[in-house]
Homo-oligomer: A and B are copies of this chain.
């Protein structure tokens, strides 16, 4: 679709994104989500057409990564830079946070001239999302008291509950693959656990997928071995979403049956909910022996499910043997990045470029979240950018 057409449609959305943090997709309305997808699409096309959507003359975008990241780190930096903001890392080892500063204080100290704070905090179950809200409350307070000239927006770059910049990139990939959100109705997507030789992978991606894809009438199947449950409250949300949107949601412990007739498969490893709970407690109490024992137990439990691999056989079960394979990357690829992993090398290679395309939406999804947070009328802003015609290069 042409940029102008997409922008025109934005006026139809009733959104509540202005001045709001983006923490969980299930706190947002369908219109909110559609707005993000469309603004992201427009920003991507603008950059492809050498149009600069710079909106900030100065300002910081603070990134606070409490876990490793390559792609999300670069996506956040790219989004910020595209809009005119400079990334400043809050490196908690370099800073004095290690010295007992409260979150409340630090949140204000880094925000005097800051427009956004992007946070990744996915290691501790029950903690990451809570931490983001604590930061948010501190910023509310700081703004109300005149400490901050405006309230910086928070972007969830992955927490213990959700990974909204990932799941919305995934959804935009699906929308573009199938032509429209409308076309996704009734499409069967399987979010499946898959074997990995590592343990302790966050739950945020599978939770994000079942929490989001059930919003648009899709037929969502969550598949995992017995015991590899996600957070029960989020599974409930997925159920309710499916009912409301006219879609379906079911859970199964059989990967093969899940794959039958699937349009889309998303096989990815994660740690069982109860293991993450144990791990969180052990990490918090600094119990190294306990952690080592838990790892051995978890890995040996994982090893019972090596057959949960997305191989050619399983792909043949899908619709016309040709389902779309998705992954948030990096995947554990059998014979490539590990001896035995989530996906067979041939299957991955067939879809490799498409997983790159999937990942490529993330910078624009983040930029869209920023734009919608700071500008009440995104359509008007995007039209203004088009009209001024500032080039990105040259």
Contacts and interface: CB of A to CB of B under 8 A. Distances in A.
Interface of A: 47-48, 52, 54-60, 62, 65, 68-71, 73-75, 77-78, 81-84, 86-88, 90, 94-97, 99-102, 105-106, 108-110, 112-115, 141-142, 145-149, 329-330, 332, 336-338, 353, 356-357, 359-360, 362-363, 374-375, 381, 390-394
Q: Which of A70, A78, A142 has the most CB of B within 10 A?
A: A70
Contact of A353 (B86, B101, B147, B336): B147
B68 A393 contact: no
B110 A70 contact: yes
Given A57-B392, A60-B78, A142-B356, 8 more contacts: A58-B82, A58-B83, A60-B74, A70-B97, A74-B110, A78-B112, A81-B113, A145-B356
Given A112-B74, A353-B147, A393 B56 contact: yes
A56 B249 CA distance: 47
A256 to B, nearest CB: 27
Contact of A113 (B78, B87, B100, B391): B78
A108 B330 CA distance: 12
Nearest to A71: B109
A105 B329 contact: yes
B109 A96 contact: no
Give the interface SS of chain A, mostly helix, strand, loop or mixed.
Answer: mixed
A359 B392 CA distance: 31
B94 A68 contact: yes
30 contacts: A47-B113, A47-B149, A54-B57, A55-B393, A56-B393, A58-B83, A59-B393, A60-B77, A60-B78, A68-B96, A69-B94, A69-B95, A69-B96, A70-B96, A70-B97, A70-B106, A70-B110, A74-B88, A74-B109, A74-B112, A74-B114, A86-B87, A99-B337, A101-B337, A112-B362, A113-B363, A141-B353, A145-B356, A148-B360, A381-B394
A86 B112 CA distance: 17
Nearest to A83: B58
Contacts of A88: 74, 77, 87
A100 to B, nearest CB: 4
Given A375-B394, A392-B58, A86 B84 contact: no
Given A88-B87, A356-B147, A363-B113, A101 B392 contact: no
Contact of A70 (B54, B58, B101, B145): B101
Given A56-B392, A149-B47, A363 B68 contact: no
